[in-house]
Structure 1
């Protein structure tokens, strides 16, 4: 027995070391400029506390490597989002005051902004550090609901030769100055500043309250008080501040100055909460009981948490470059920054169920991020689905987008439906499927008053006309009356995945939703042409087009809202497609691509369109609707072209540089697209389908965290220059395998897929019986059932 225990311990230690080696490849600064908007600071997986330096440049995620100025160090952020900068409340700012006179310090945000030394930035999982031009070094690490900062001040002298005292201010603001009101209380004897504020969500409706509790240790408090605009004073010790009049934004907060310690280090522990100031203090005290001596131990704990999350994956690189490894592992890492686990931090209702926030937004995340979590962290994904269902139970609707306890704007369909269906067909456990079914039916049948942030609008027309009309007359609810094409296509898919769940649960109404899944066909205009901006005919006929209530056709230029035209959002340029062109949405029929291919004119024409779309500049690889189009060649019997298309974007658009993302990361959506592509499988979410291409490595192993079975994809004839990227033949568990797709049982049962590669396209996966299933094939309802 001792011998066996020793073997087991050795194996466990080896696995831990391997995971830590993988962690060394994670580079949180990938995507920290050029619009990647990543969160580059310290976090635990799905953690609430996310400390980082905030800058006055590209600050949507707080920090950017764009060389802009640091305005503070705040404790909560989202990662990779669009819209306004998210959260970033209550920033600390370390400085010294000339002649040790408090009013000679700089308190307002723009006045205190200081450049950072570019070569000083150090970002690793669970740790972030940089040095300001002032000479102050800032380091930070994290627990789940608290941040720990270590500020090291340089030795500076006053005119009379005495040392300058460190001062740390706290600002009652957030990243985009959305604060409505706030309070601060300074407790000098305890070395504590605490308070709260009311803020606006960055991409949604309503408001939320956040609470903080900051403790300063390692130095004796010399002076403390509050500041308002550019003045400060040691009395009073409490302050309530409102937004201010018109555009005059009142800036205010608290401060503490300290006798300079011998080592120049002042430590700050900041607990955060959405419930109360008392809970913020309790979070900090429980999670970081030793702020003065616990920094390195806390950092190690954060690294260990990340190593555990990466442990299911093992890579045999085959000589792949370090940059490719860094891009891959960093993509995996970013998929676990959000959604944030706010269990115990939800003041809106009482529940024993998990509560996750920062679903920002499911329209982006359902396509690749949540399917990736399903194989790497199924327990967390199950808890996220349960959180969505608990939100439905208490608020009446499944969320499509949610951040900071608020309802986010709905971008298209009801995409929680797809996340739920994906969990269902892949057998995630612990989920109340009757409640899930009820939530999905509610989306499909009932229109909310405000469908701008929940449910679906236009349901009366959807049921009567079988499409969403252009300029719809919708008196049941209110939202941005646009996106008639993209909503029609997305609703069709939402109803399809509902039919899958309904049939699996034995519900008789599954046929109703299955019939609605064909509604996309009602807005396909077979003679519609498409011209480029210079008048050149693209040569293709047949596109989706808007249709009026009376059944007559409207018009939207197929290239509008593409990468060759003007970006289309919900508000600034609303159109009949959301954030994508008709060209891009042409390929969005995930459940019946076979029928779409027939509409377009057959496989050859479909491939020609895909090629033109990706090679003409129409495709926007920086936005999520493009993801599946990279792999849709599979459905036309040309899986080799999917592999070639993936290599055209990696590493050209996805790489390990600071600007290594083609668009904002959208809470890990871009990272998960990259990870799937490099692993050699890509999901069609909501279905039990993964499309097969060769991995970017010699081999990939994924051990399922629940079944403990290991799935292996191994390349034969792999070469690191990526000349051999075409599958010549395949074996599954040692037997010939010709299908170009595989089901989720590959992961849960631990199968081995061996791909023999060559430098030319072969006939592997090209036969009709080897194509991925589609609804019109008549086999989809059987083959895409539960894994």
Structure 2
């Protein structure tokens, strides 16, 4: 018979005592041990989710700190390619190829300059705070970690090989040698406006760069050969080369000053600090339940909402590209936003998680208005890029102000929007240009006129883009939303004349075709242009719509859902029509449909999950008295189109817009009408989600029975009080508390069936 050591050494009484002590210790230690082994939220982030797009632009695996200037992803044709063209010091705007490009290798410089680096996908590591890749043909490991306005590369060569590096620009680099291992680099971003009198804006990017060893000392045998627009760098004796740099839009001196952020730190220190920054953001939302795949999708989506806007403030100042001078500021200045996309979900998410930062970002729009003369639409550090249609900055201003965010100049925002909407053109991809005669027609008649079928455009390409066309239906609908937002903001600010803008916002009804029960184009004579709203309009349906067809734009009246419901014949008829949207056939074979409809992706019937105008559509069942269908549809689109793999985004992610939809919908709430401080409720995917608010309070959404099967809301309570409507106010969220939702496998058609 064998005995354990306790039996041999200690008498029976002492053995019982020690067993009790050990059991007590285990009871105490076990929860801490389990917590220690619990996966961190940041560990669920996978920047490669969505990196392959069937039709459109994929996501990019971007390394950066939350909302900070320095961003990096390897420049390659696409995820499927094993060839990397370069590693940039800076990705200066969402999806843009980087600048100040690094290449490493062992071949002669002439060959290295034009060749590409070969990687093995399985040997690449992507995390928001760290990248590592192995150049498989040359046995070189390259790593990167970001700072706020700095970056840090580590290159590990084999000892007995050439150690060559090249720095070159997207545009030719200019440079200045400060010492054997320190350089100042300059590269220029060019941004040319569109229109009859286009301006070309220039923004210079300055970099202070050091080449050091693992002890942060100058590389003793560093050799740098200066060529026309590029640098050839080599060392013989140092297998490890570290490239540390600081960036600035202001000056070389400011770049060197910004470098102090990482000047005395090693690679690991910077990486750990970067991870801590991401942990801080990811830990704002704690979830329980859900699958591992759902958590990967959720936290990766949350990560993507922090890619932009980015803080371009440098020591209380920023470079004003329109005035071509440095401006002082007591408030952070942000840039890089695509407002046509981001107003829908991205900005509203920030009003919950970071209301102060949202106010700073909103005020950045006002600052650019003062500099440029019109409200931005696709705001960048290098100026506004004229993309898409409408001026939805108005909705962002109203949304922030209606939610109590006041750290922006609301008076200036109103005045700027009024000036923009009354003096600037509504022509797509020409925003900011002066008002044209076609805009006069819109102001007078209340709709944007379409060309007749087969009619050639009479306005020159500088006025109406020959590719983007007039897009008369979405322009009419979108601008009506803008005037509504302007009027509502004016009402809150007690401005005279706000009612005229609210009245104008009803003009969307002029394009309602009662027989088609869709919004259809009219020509300048007021006659219907009798098209097939499902298939006609050319590439992206742009002759009449924009990227989506008439079935999507039938629901693009976020500011007046009550009015839309009346046009549809009441709530029952509206719900039936919405059912039809999700069931209606493509009308062609897929191969034919996607010739013109390549922007309409993530299709369920005629519903396009892959494009922004559809985001709010599944939630409209709440407004039509059938919220159980909202619960059904939102679960279905998440399960179907948002997977935790390289195909996990159904369309253009657009730098935070689509992934903010995922964050909201996973939590079980969504802002159907930005500008109205109310969120529609749907079925959460997590058993519990707690949001740590900026004011120190916590808002928790509990759905203890949540599962794939249990998706229908049976009942709900807010802070213990019965909630029988599928809405919750922004104020209720920000006050903290608990939204408790009971879920079941079958619909409770009686819950929440009273329209808002």
Q: Tell me if both proteins adopt one fold, taking TM over 0.5 as the criterion.
A: yes
What is the match of residue 485 of structure 1?
A: 473
CA contact (8 A) 1:78 1:667 kept: no
**Secondary structure of the corresponding residue to residue 413 of structure 1:** coil
Which of 559, 563, 567 is equivalent to 1:599? 567
**Secondary structure of the corresponding residue to residue 70 of structure 2:** coil
**Secondary structure of the corresponding residue to residue 84 of structure 2:** strand
What is the match of residue 216 of structure 1?
A: 211
**Residue 642 to residue 203, structure 1, CA distance change in 2 (3 Å):** farther
What is the match of residue 180 of structure 2?
A: 190
* Stretch of structure 1 that moved more, 67-76 or 688-697: 67-76
What is the match of residue 124 of structure 1?
A: 127
**Residue 393 to residue 765, structure 1, CA distance change in 2 (3 Å):** farther
What is the match of residue 447 of structure 2?
A: 467
**Residue 37 to residue 340, structure 1, CA distance change in 2 (3 Å):** farther
TM-score (norm 1): 0.81
* Stretch of structure 1 that moved more, 676-685 or 480-489: 480-489
What is the match of residue 410 of structure 1?
A: 387
Deviation of 1:470 after TM superposition, in Å, equals: 1.5
Which of 282, 286, 289 is equivalent to 1:314? 286
Deviation of 1:22 after TM superposition, in Å, equals: 1.2
What is the match of residue 368 of structure 1?
A: 345
Q: 1-side partners of 2:250 and 2:626: how far apart?
A: 54
**Residue 436 to residue 114, structure 1, CA distance change in 2 (3 Å):** same
Q: 2-side partners of 1:281 and 1:105: how far apart?
A: 32
What is the match of residue 74 of structure 1?
A: 88
Q: Are residues 1:641 and 2:614 paired? A: no
In the TM superposition, 1:676-715 aligns within 5 A as 676-684=664-672, 685-705=674-694, 707-715=695-703
Q: Are residues 1:735 and 2:735 paired? A: no
Deviation of 1:423 after TM superposition, in Å, equals: 0.3
**Secondary structure of the corresponding residue to residue 760 of structure 1:** coil
Unaligned 5+ segments in structure 2 are 1-31, 214-218, 452-456, 586-604
In the TM superposition, 1:302-451 aligns within 5 A as 302-317=274-289, 320-344=290-314, 345-348=318-321, 349=325, 350-352=327-329, 353-359=331-337, 361-447=338-424
Q: 2-side partners of 1:608 and 1:356: how far apart?
A: 44
**Secondary structure of the corresponding residue to residue 438 of structure 1:** helix
What is the match of residue 199 of structure 1?
A: 189
What is the match of residue 533 of structure 1?
A: none
**Secondary structure of the corresponding residue to residue 559 of structure 2:** coil
Which of 751, 759, 763 is equivalent to 2:749? 763
CA contact (8 A) 1:165 1:260 kept: no
**Residue 40 to residue 278, structure 1, CA distance change in 2 (3 Å):** same
Instruction: Provide the alpha-carbon RMSD of the alignment.
Output: 2.6
**Residue 103 to residue 700, structure 1, CA distance change in 2 (3 Å):** closer
Which of 161, 165, 175 is equivalent to 1:168? 165
Q: 2-side partners of 1:698 and 1:501: how far apart?
A: 38
Q: Are residues 1:672 and 2:653 paired? A: no
**Secondary structure of the corresponding residue to residue 650 of structure 1:** helix
List per-residue Cα deviations over 1:578-634 (Å, max 9, x = no partner).
211111010011122222122123333322332332344422211111101121111
Q: How many aligned positions are there?
A: 670
In the TM superposition, 1:136-285 aligns within 5 A as 136-155=140-159, 163-173=160-170, 179=171, 181-186=172-177, 189-201=179-191, 206-207=200-201, 208-218=203-213, 219-227=219-227, 239=228, 252-261=229-238, 264-284=239-259
**Residue 389 to residue 254, structure 1, CA distance change in 2 (3 Å):** same
**Residue 749 to residue 554, structure 1, CA distance change in 2 (3 Å):** same
**Secondary structure of the corresponding residue to residue 237 of structure 2:** coil
Q: 2-side partners of 1:412 and 1:742: how far apart?
A: 31
**Secondary structure of the corresponding residue to residue 629 of structure 2:** helix
List per-residue Cα deviations over 1:13-52 (Å, max 9, x = no partner).
99x9899811111111212222553331321111111123
What is the match of residue 91 of structure 1?
A: 101
Q: Are residues 1:620 and 2:608 paired? A: yes
In the TM superposition, 1:710-729 aligns within 5 A as 710-719=698-707, 722-729=708-715
**Residue 278 to residue 351, structure 1, CA distance change in 2 (3 Å):** closer
**Secondary structure of the corresponding residue to residue 147 of structure 1:** strand
List per-residue Cα deviations over 1:77-96 (Å, max 9, x = no partner).
26764xxxx14001111111
**Secondary structure of the corresponding residue to residue 100 of structure 2:** coil
Q: 2-side partners of 1:164 and 1:647: how far apart?
A: 55
**Secondary structure of the corresponding residue to residue 144 of structure 2:** strand
**Secondary structure of the corresponding residue to residue 74 of structure 2:** strand
* Stretch of structure 1 that moved more, 329-338 or 438-447: 438-447
Query: Runs of at least 4 residues of structure 1 off by over 4 A?
Result: 16-20, 78-81, 102-105, 201-205, 448-451, 455-458, 471-475
List per-residue Cα deviations over 1:284-303 (Å, max 9, x = no partner).
2x11112xx52111111111
Deviation of 1:164 after TM superposition, in Å, equals: 2.4
CA contact (8 A) 1:44 1:126 kept: yes
* Stretch of structure 1 that moved more, 86-95 or 455-464: 455-464
In the TM superposition, 1:502-541 aligns within 5 A as 502-528=490-516
Q: 1-side partners of 2:235 and 2:43: how far apart?
A: 37
**Residue 281 to residue 434, structure 1, CA distance change in 2 (3 Å):** same
* Stretch of structure 1 that moved more, 118-127 or 31-40: 31-40
Q: 2-side partners of 1:221 and 1:550: how far apart?
A: 77
**Residue 682 to residue 671, structure 1, CA distance change in 2 (3 Å):** same
Q: 1-side partners of 2:37 and 2:278: how far apart?
A: 12
**Secondary structure of the corresponding residue to residue 307 of structure 1:** helix
In the TM superposition, 1:580-591 aligns within 5 A as 580-591=548-559
Unaligned 5+ segments in structure 1 are 1-12, 59-63, 156-162, 174-178, 228-238, 240-251, 529-541, 773-787
**Residue 438 to residue 474, structure 1, CA distance change in 2 (3 Å):** farther
Q: 1-side partners of 2:431 and 2:446: how far apart?
A: 23
Deviation of 1:220 after TM superposition, in Å, equals: 2.8
List per-residue Cα deviations over 1:618-654 (Å, max 9, x = no partner).
2221111110112111111111111111122213211
Q: 2-side partners of 1:454 and 1:410: how far apart?
A: 11
What is the match of residue 47 of structure 1?
A: 68
Deviation of 1:556 after TM superposition, in Å, equals: 3.7
**Residue 125 to residue 172, structure 1, CA distance change in 2 (3 Å):** closer
What is the match of residue 21 of structure 1?
A: 40
* Stretch of structure 1 that moved more, 267-276 or 361-370: 267-276
TM-score (norm 2): 0.84
